[in-house]
Structure 1
Amino acid sequence: MVAKESPATQSRRQAYDSFADLYPNSSAPVYKLQFNPKDKTPKYKQIVQSVITDIERGVLKNNEQLPSISELSVEYYLARDTVEKAYRELRELGYITSVQGKGYYVLSQATPKLKILLIFNKLSSYKKIIYYAFLKALGDKATVDLQIHHYSACHFREIIEKNLGKYNYYVVMPHFTQDLDKANYMETLESIPAHELVLLDKDVQELTEPRLSVYQNFDKDICESLENAQDLLMKYNRLVLILPGDGNYPTEIAHGFRSFCVNYNKEFGIKENALQENLQEGTAYVVIEETDLSELVKKVRQSPYELGHEIGIISFNETTLKELLNITVITTDFEAMGYTAASLLLDNQRIKVKNPFYMIRRGSL
């Protein structure tokens, strides 16, 4: 059943029809408001927020003419008083000016900066490296807001629904493990225009339209890193991956690890933590979490085995502490990831770039 229109809405629709009859060749206003009739925010406030946001995004340029009061009234079925109130507030705030007999114009002397929403899955020391490299590469050309979705597809959807249309770019780390039965993160990603979406750290192959992506290939990266360390791994007949079972790490890590072990005839195991691990001579561990790294180092020091000889350890992601402990690491270049994403974004590129991944050899292997 179609809802019955109110008399006021009917009157405005009739005005629109009359306008179209009188000017059959006239085009609708070029500028489109970020306007939602169901939003509880007062309609005039929505107009004000839309114009300010689009001036800041650079969608509306200095001296650009805005739609007239009549045009906005007809286009969005609004009372003239509502549009007049919005334009009056925008003029008082200094965002627009009016020229008698001509209309309303954008009044913005400052060069607009790009507005970017950066959405991480979590905060960590590695994410901070990416964040600061991203900011440094952007310089004064953009302003960046940061939000965290905490692996939640539902929370990610809420962030996008609240902010869609307010930024030039949405830079997203698409790692999701929670609420997948309640929210389809693919639908949320697809709701972002392809030219505004930047994928960071992980690519999403299902997205078909060209978009900028700076990613890790977790499966291939770990397999190739272990292959390149074959000279060091020859003295170990057994490999164990310590991969937490909370689902917050890409499953591709386990796939790549398993592929290497099968291809090189290595006995292997995958465990969720190192707490119950009984050390066996000739075993090398690949460790994701620093808590498990600490547990393994402690166990080795309490055993008759020597680290880097009877027991080997490879840790994910470089830190100063691992350097001091002489721990071999396999790591992506987090600084390069942030810098590359920002540089390509500024160049308006829509390409996929695999981020560098490498091993730092130290005494623990």
Structure 2
Amino acid sequence: MKPLHIDTNSKVPVYLQIVDSIMAAVRDGDLRRDEQIPSINEFSEQYLLSRGTVEKAYKELRDKKVILSVKGKGYFIYRTDVNMPLRVLLLFNKISNYKKQIYNAFVKTLGEGVFVDLHIHHSNVQLFDSLISNHLGDYDHYVIMPHFYEQPERVLQIIRQIPEQQLVLLDKDLPELGGRYAGVFQNFEKDIYEALYEALPSLKKYNSLVFVNPGNIMPYPPEIRKGFQYFCRMHDFNFSVMEDGLEMTAPVKAGQAFIVIEETDLVNLVKICRNNALAIGKDVGIVSYNETLLKEVLLDGITVISTDHEQMGITAAQMILEKGTERVKNPFKLILRNSL
């Protein structure tokens, strides 16, 4: 029998951890019918647990008819037809079109018989703490988008309550977390630099580059702006950062190319160009974050820099199904269209 993960510091009662771990081993085929498991005393000694705790767990397993006690011989797996669908807690920081792409690909790849419970933490540390603390032990896997902009040490403490083999980080990595956990992430600073470098011949048509920061209302990883600024300095572009989004009164001039993250700012920029007879792709350049079907056809095509959201969902699901523990950088690409 493979070693089970028992966390005595967890808020989940130890006896329930034993029950869940043995039932999960049965479901995954690690324990088979008629296979013997350790006695109560052996289990207690191996995991440094009280005999009463193990006895309580074994009693529940007997009641569920998962194990059978044979006098003079010990405990054996009795049932393997336990109805135990995988349960996954999926925590997004917000809902958007591209988050829906991730969700749909994730659920489809997991397939039928897997329960996915979606919650939104809104980058609120207190809400995040509640969602994790109140559901420890309720799920087989916890898939988290760790986009937080306050209390970084507290966020790490919350996440560390989750057993490593049950954790998948999505969209953003946390190297300071330590340990062996699965993850599918973007390298925000490097990704924007490499995408803009690929677009360099088209960007050279413009006198200056403008990064439109959505601001505090719609916070995005600050590494995106850092990557933009580094690109501009390395390639001698005049540049500026427009804080708090792009309003309809924003000064937009011929010779500028805009890198826009939020779609509201994209819409305002298109309206301003139309109102001032500025030709998009000639007078003003536009690069938008995150691919959508609409951007493929809007204005004969909006240039996009985007991670592959569908692939992110697929990879995260595959890690769960295959019990992966690696951390994988998600593909990021430039789609060059007529707006640049």
TM-score after normalising by structure 2 = 0.80
Secondary structure of the 1:310 match is coil
Residue 269 (1) aligns with residue 240 (2): yes
Structure 1 residues 1-365: aligned runs within 5 Å: 51=19, 55=23, 58=27, 61=31, 63=33, 83=56, 87=59, 107-110=78-81, 112-140=84-112, 142-178=114-150, 180=151, 184-246=154-216, 248-271=219-242, 272-275=244-247, 276-325=249-298, 326-365=301-340
Runs of 5+ consecutive residues of structure 1 not aligned to the other structure: 1-29
Deviations 1:133-177, CA, capped at 9 Å, x for gaps: 122222247443322222122222222222333433322111112
Answer whether contact 1:244 1:273 (CA < 8 A) is retained: yes
User: How far does residue 261 in structure 1 lie from its aligned partner after superposition?
Assistant: 1.0
Distance change in 2, residues 1:120/1:106 (3 Å):
farther
Answer whether contact 1:201 1:216 (CA < 8 A) is retained: yes
Residue type matched to 1:136 in 2? K
Q: Which moved more, 1:59-68 or 1:241-250?
A: 59-68
Distance change in 2, residues 1:69/1:219 (3 Å):
closer
CA distance in 1, matches of 2:81, 2:136: 24
Runs of 5+ consecutive residues of structure 2 not aligned to the other structure: none
CA distance in 2, matches of 1:361, 1:280: 22
Distance change in 2, residues 1:54/1:114 (3 Å):
farther
CA RMSD after TM alignment:
3.5
Answer whether contact 1:48 1:90 (CA < 8 A) is retained: no
User: How far does residue 62 in structure 1 lie from its aligned partner after superposition?
Assistant: 5.8
Secondary structure of the 1:184 match is helix
Secondary structure of the 2:211 match is strand
Deviations 1:18-52, CA, capped at 9 Å, x for gaps: xxxxxxxxxxxx9898899999xxx9xx9679736
Secondary structure of the 1:358 match is strand
Answer whether contact 1:31 1:67 (CA < 8 A) is retained: no
Distance change in 2, residues 1:68/1:330 (3 Å):
same
Secondary structure of the 1:313 match is strand
Residue type matched to 1:361 in 2? L
Relative contact order, CA 8 A, sep 6+: which one is greater?
Answer: 2
Percent of residue pairs bearing the same amino acid type: 43
Aligned length: 326
Q: Which has the larger radius of gyration?
A: 1
Answer whether contact 2:6 2:17 (CA < 8 A) is retained: no
